[in-house]
Chains A and B, each alone.
Chain A
Amino acid sequence: MGVKLVHITKVFPDPHHPGKEVVAVRNVSIDVKEGEFVTFLGPSGCGKTTTLRIISGFEYPTEGEVWISGKMVNNDPPNKRDTSMVFQSYAIFPHLSVAQNIGFGLELKGLPKERIRAETERIMAVMNLTNLANRRPDQLSGGQQQRVALARAIVNKPSVLLFDEPLSNLDAKLREQMRLEIRRIQKTFGITSIYVTHDQVEAMTVSDRIVVMNEGNIMQIGTPFEIYSRPLNRFVADFIGRVNFFEGTVTEVKGQGVRVRFNHGVDREVASCSIAFKPGDKALVVVRPESLKLVSPSSSTGNGISQNASVYSHPANGQPFLEGKIDKVVYLGSVCEYEIDGGREKPVLAVTHNPIEEGFFQPGDLVGIDFSPISAHALPLSS
């Protein structure tokens, strides 16, 4: 059941260079389980919309198969597929009222008038639309239009709900509210959902699993935790959230983890790896800014640490992973962000929490940087 894409490729003729082609989606396979909420996430133009339109039937794949509820639907037109789409522009029929919009699909199915009214009213109650039933679409706010679009899709009880950046026309506050709403409705009705966005926070909040795409390819499929903390490759690590990369060579394999000698000569353990490493392999170690610990450096001269920073302690082995000078501090209230010049190409990014209790550094302060094995993740260097 659910939705299955098997080796889907979509090639368009290039609109700007006649005769040439654009590969919008390349060899995409995924199995979405029944009731699951899967999000396609990726930069603009990576093929998310195209993938969604292939599932809904508005585009035919150049190669590959689309399965919905255990049936191969490659040759079914969109109106024969059991999917309902929530469009980015909402696509509410401007000549119909809210209630007529919502009842449109039921009417097409030829349900009796009474049924249509009952179903429409029920869904309008769930979505807080009851008192808008007779409004015209141009008399609705963005959030209300969004709810109408969602109600219109859900009322047909499709086996699959498809969303193409449904929240991108809303302001930040409403967006936050609506994504929880969407998730709640989806859970209530248990409808398999495929959601497209380029907003990672949105993806992290609503999804059971996330599919990260780039240039038509799937870069990784995984739970929000896996995508963020255990990325498969450099692209995913870099695209989701902020990140520090440290290069080194694997010296020893220890169960799930490895021991790495970093290029600046320091040894550290890394608890997880995206592939099975062998000693001697080059590795790229990913550490998120919030996983870095800042300590007063071993060779502290005393003036480098601000007044409250005394709570930081030296690591057990005395030698920090890296030393550097605080370049920039951004105080955001709940967190404090640092850019640290560690003598490398790019500044090291670090985030500390609860600065009011933990204290914070000032630009120019010298700090030691370290991390624990569990928060580090090793990728092959060439990924």
Chain B
Amino acid sequence: MVRSKGSRWAREIRLLWGDPLLFTVVFFVLSSLIVFILYPLVLVVATSFKTPKGFGLAVFLEVFKSAYLLQGFWNSIMMSTLTAVGGSLIGFLFAYTLSRTDIPFKKLFHIIAIIPVVSPPFIGAMSIIMLFGNNGLITYSLLGINNYPIYGFRGLLFAQLLTFFPIAYITLRGVLESISPTLEDAAMDLGGSRWQVFRKVTLPLSIPGIASAMLVLFIETMADFGNPLILAGSQFPILSVQAYLQITGMFDLPTGSALALLLLLPSITAYILQKYWVSRKQYITITGKPTTSMIKSVHPVAKWVLFGVCLFVVLLILLVYLTILWGAFANVWGTDNTLTLKHFQYVFGVGFRAVVDTLTISGISTPLSGILGMVIAFLVVRKRFPGKQFMEFTSMLSFAVPGTVIGIGYILAFNSPPLVLTGTLAILLLNFIYRYIPVGIQSGIAILRQIDPAIEEAAIDLGADAKKTFLRVTLPLMVPAFFSGLIFAFVRAMTAISAAIFLVSSHWNLMTVQIMSQVESGRLGAASAFSVILVGLILVAIFMIRAILLYRYGKLGGKLLNI
């Protein structure tokens, strides 16, 4: 009885035909993924191989001949690797301390550590300029140093670590909390010292999580655009900025595309490693409630050392954010620090269009992206149809593709017929929707994996058809995840810059892009005021969604948002 793979396909196709609703949804989702994710990427690749005489490697040869461009590539790789290792280390220390010791101010530390996650990723860079730059608070005002060399490697690394370690912290905290403390108790019971328990039990069990965090940080740093644009300077070129400058400065689409491709390859590699290798090695499956851990497995001295490290990190974060806050109210940063509201007047006057545009675009794209994400999560986890793996891979791809690459792809794809979208609201919306579906998909998949399939089977068994089962049982159970996914998608949309900077126009502008151009032109006060408003809006949105969830789902709803 050997049945070929072909007959399974045939069966799946027949099943799909027999279910018109499923067929329509699958068809719509697949074709939109192809048009808005895959097609722009294909164009980037194609353009980078384009030569005056057809296709060839000419553009790449040029790139490899240019020491400056090549330097950008290696700098990006190095910076991403260092951020990945350093950020994961700090993240792990933080996660370990907060989940395994009883230090004071745990809740406060947690909240401060996730501030960078819910704010624009270039705040770190801005703040560093304000602290150590030409008119820097520390270098100039305090120490009287002129032209301290903060631009380049050191400053950027500092900014990246600060920006991205919280992602590692959140990931690793989840990992550590899902390692049952009874394992550590058991090891201690068997006679292990605290250090042995850590080295032989806790650490090995966290290794896959650490590897995963590192790869994520690598991807994020590779893709990051704001920090290097502000801080890298010409001495320390970074690939994403170079690609941007090629396109917007030199109007050289082929070279820009070639750089984008160079940017894409390491990210995709890291993503594939993360998805197909590291995540398979994860020992622990999330089984629901994290157990609170025993506090006794950390030696008191170690505990206070860890506390010191965390305190230092927390103070740095506070310094960065308070600097921005002060900067928003300071008359002329560095030279005249008297308080004023003029920057806010500027934001609410000239700059107000960008605020409205940003809110409009994020407000429309986030729920749409969330719904699409839930639908894809549902299809991927619960349904069988041809093209399923393709759907999963493509839809999650945005997570790995640097914004710069997708931004270039969008101008290549939607600047000419059949779809002319440049300068419209639509191109920004589409970009944001498809860029942030992975957030919705991830939380959707997570919740679906927790919903016992038997629950849906029970509904079907009781006579519900596919639609009723989804509406009456699955959807209500997914709603909380939908909202918590929504928050992250909203944060990312509000703080997006790397792809959006290619797509804004005089009709539709974004706050992040405004902030960048203010920084570029040295108007740090206006940039700070914009940033403060931006973070403020995000916090308001988070608290609103949180309030809804608390009201609707009680304690559980609140917990869902505790990140």
Kindly state the separation between the CA atoms of A56 and B460 in the bound complex, as whole angstroms.
10
B434 → A minimal CB distance (Å):
31
Contact of A279 with B by CB under 8 A: no
A167 → B minimal CB distance (Å):
16
Kindly state the separation between the CA atoms of A67 and B452 in the bound complex, as whole angstroms.
28
Contact of A85 with B by CB under 8 A: yes
Given contacts A11-B3, A21-B3, A23-B1, contact A104 B459 (CB under 8 A): yes
B413 → A minimal CB distance (Å):
36
Residues of A within 8 A of B336 (CB): none
B458 & A91 in contact (Cβ 8 Å cutoff): yes
Contact of B426 with A by CB under 8 A: no
A9 → B minimal CB distance (Å):
8
A116 → B minimal CB distance (Å):
13
Kindly state the separation between the CA atoms of A109 and B465 in the bound complex, as whole angstroms.
11
The 6 closest A-B pairs by CB, nearest first: A105-B462, A91-B454, A91-B458, A87-B454, A108-B463, A91-B455
Residues of A within 8 A of B473 (CB): 93, 95
Provide 6 A-B residue pairs closer than 8 Å at the C-beta atoms, listed in order of the A residue: A13-B8, A56-B461, A62-B1, A79-B463, A84-B462, A152-B458
Residues of B within 8 A of A95 (CB): 473, 476-477
Contact of A77 with B by CB under 8 A: yes
A85 & B477 in contact (Cβ 8 Å cutoff): no
Contact of A94 with B by CB under 8 A: yes
A78 & B461 in contact (Cβ 8 Å cutoff): yes
Smallest CB gap from B457: residue in A: A58
A109 & B463 in contact (Cβ 8 Å cutoff): yes
A78 & B460 in contact (Cβ 8 Å cutoff): yes
Of B2, B8, B457, most buried by chain A (CB within 10 Å of CB) is B457
Contact of A50 with B by CB under 8 A: no
Cβ-defined partner of B464 (8 Å) among A11, A13, A92, A108: A108
- The residues in A between 48 and 69 inclusive whose CB is less than 8 angstroms from any CB of B are 56, 58, 62
Smallest CB gap from A84: residue in B: B461
Kindly state the separation between the CA atoms of A180 and B452 in the bound complex, as whole angstroms.
28
Residues of A within 8 A of B459 (CB): 93, 104
Contact of A89 with B by CB under 8 A: yes
B476 & A79 in contact (Cβ 8 Å cutoff): no
Given contacts A21-B1, A23-B1, contact A108 B462 (CB under 8 A): yes
Given contact pairs A79-B465, A93-B458, A95-B477, a sample of 8 additional A-B residue pairs in the complex whose CB atoms are under 8 Å apart: A11-B1, A19-B5, A77-B465, A80-B463, A91-B458, A93-B455, A152-B458, A156-B463
B463 & A105 in contact (Cβ 8 Å cutoff): yes
Residues of B within 8 A of A120 (CB): none
Contact of B468 with A by CB under 8 A: yes
Smallest CB gap from A164: residue in B: B454
Residues of B within 8 A of A11 (CB): 1, 3
A85 & B458 in contact (Cβ 8 Å cutoff): yes
Smallest CB gap from B462: residue in A: A105
B338 → A minimal CB distance (Å):
57
A91 & B457 in contact (Cβ 8 Å cutoff): yes
Q: What string of 1s and 0s marks CB contacts (under 8 Å) between B336-373 and chain A?
A: 00000000000000000000000000000000000000
Residues of B within 8 A of A56 (CB): 461
- The residues in A between 17 and 59 inclusive whose CB is less than 8 angstroms from any CB of B are 19, 21, 23, 56, 58
Smallest CB gap from A81: residue in B: B461
Residues of B within 8 A of A93 (CB): 455, 458-459, 473
- The residues in B between 218 and 244 inclusive whose CB is less than 8 angstroms from any CB of A are none
Contact of A83 with B by CB under 8 A: yes
Given contacts A89-B452, A95-B476, contact A104 B462 (CB under 8 A): yes
Q: How large is the interface on B (under 10, 10 to 19, 20 to 34, 35 or more residues)?
A: 20 to 34
Smallest CB gap from B473: residue in A: A93
Residues of B within 8 A of A77 (CB): 460, 465
Cβ-defined partner of A79 (8 Å) among B3, B461, B477: B461
A94 & B477 in contact (Cβ 8 Å cutoff): yes
Residues of B within 8 A of A85 (CB): 457-458, 461
- The residues in A between 297 and 326 inclusive whose CB is less than 8 angstroms from any CB of B are none
Kindly state the separation between the CA atoms of A380 and B435 in the bound complex, as whole angstroms.
69
Smallest CB gap from A13: residue in B: B8
B556 → A minimal CB distance (Å):
10
Smallest CB gap from A85: residue in B: B461
Considering only CB atoms and an 8 Å cut-off, how many residues of chain A contact the other chain? 29
Q: What string of 1s and 0s marks CB contacts (under 8 Å) between B1-32 and chain A?
A: 11101001000000000000000000000000
Residues of A within 8 A of B464 (CB): 79, 108
Kindly state the separation between the CA atoms of A83 and B457 in the bound complex, as whole angstroms.
12
Residues of B within 8 A of A62 (CB): 1, 3
Q: What string of 1s and 0s marks CB contacts (under 8 Å) between B444-474 and chain A?
A: 0000000010110111111111001000110
Kindly state the separation between the CA atoms of A344 and B359 in the bound complex, as whole angstroms.
86
Of B455, B459, B460, B462, most buried by chain A (CB within 10 Å of CB) is B462
Kindly state the separation between the CA atoms of A19 and B3 in the bound complex, as whole angstroms.
9
Residues of B within 8 A of A79 (CB): 460-465
Residues of B within 8 A of A78 (CB): 457, 460-461
Kindly state the separation between the CA atoms of A11 and B4 in the bound complex, as whole angstroms.
12
Residues of A within 8 A of B2 (CB): 21
Kindly state the separation between the CA atoms of A21 and B458 in the bound complex, as whole angstroms.
28
A269 → B minimal CB distance (Å):
45
A11 → B minimal CB distance (Å):
6
Residues of B within 8 A of A152 (CB): 458, 462
A26 → B minimal CB distance (Å):
10
Smallest CB gap from A18: residue in B: B5
Cβ-defined partner of B458 (8 Å) among A13, A23, A87: A87
Kindly state the separation between the CA atoms of A86 and B206 in the bound complex, as whole angstroms.
39
Kindly state the separation between the CA atoms of A70 and B1 in the bound complex, as whole angstroms.
30
B480 → A minimal CB distance (Å):
10
Kindly state the separation between the CA atoms of A78 and B461 in the bound complex, as whole angstroms.
5
A272 → B minimal CB distance (Å):
37
A83 & B461 in contact (Cβ 8 Å cutoff): yes
- The residues in A between 106 and 131 inclusive whose CB is less than 8 angstroms from any CB of B are 108-109
Kindly state the separation between the CA atoms of A91 and B477 in the bound complex, as whole angstroms.
13
Kindly state the separation between the CA atoms of A104 and B469 in the bound complex, as whole angstroms.
11
Smallest CB gap from B2: residue in A: A21
Smallest CB gap from A20: residue in B: B2
Kindly state the separation between the CA atoms of A19 and B461 in the bound complex, as whole angstroms.
31
Cβ-defined partner of B462 (8 Å) among A13, A19, A94, A156: A156
Kindly state the separation between the CA atoms of A84 and B465 in the bound complex, as whole angstroms.
15
Residues of A within 8 A of B457 (CB): 58, 78, 85, 87, 91
Given contacts A21-B1, A21-B3, A23-B1, contact A91 B462 (CB under 8 A): no
Of A23, A62, A79, A88, most buried by chain B (CB within 10 Å of CB) is A79
Residues of B within 8 A of A80 (CB): 463
A2 → B minimal CB distance (Å):
19
A256 → B minimal CB distance (Å):
40
Q: What string of 1s and 0s marks CB contacts (under 8 Å) between B184-218 and chain A?
A: 00000000000000000000000000000000000
Kindly state the separation between the CA atoms of A268 and B11 in the bound complex, as whole angstroms.
59
Kindly state the separation between the CA atoms of A58 and B476 in the bound complex, as whole angstroms.
23
- The residues in A between 145 and 182 inclusive whose CB is less than 8 angstroms from any CB of B are 152, 156
Residues of B within 8 A of A58 (CB): 457, 460-461
Smallest CB gap from A156: residue in B: B462
Kindly state the separation between the CA atoms of A85 and B457 in the bound complex, as whole angstroms.
9
Smallest CB gap from A80: residue in B: B463
Residues of A within 8 A of B468 (CB): 108
Kindly state the separation between the CA atoms of A105 and B460 in the bound complex, as whole angstroms.
9
Residues of A within 8 A of B476 (CB): 95
Residues of B within 8 A of A89 (CB): 452, 454
- The residues in A between 261 and 307 inclusive whose CB is less than 8 angstroms from any CB of B are none
Of B455, B461, B464, most buried by chain A (CB within 10 Å of CB) is B461
Smallest CB gap from A63: residue in B: B1
B551 → A minimal CB distance (Å):
16
Smallest CB gap from A26: residue in B: B1
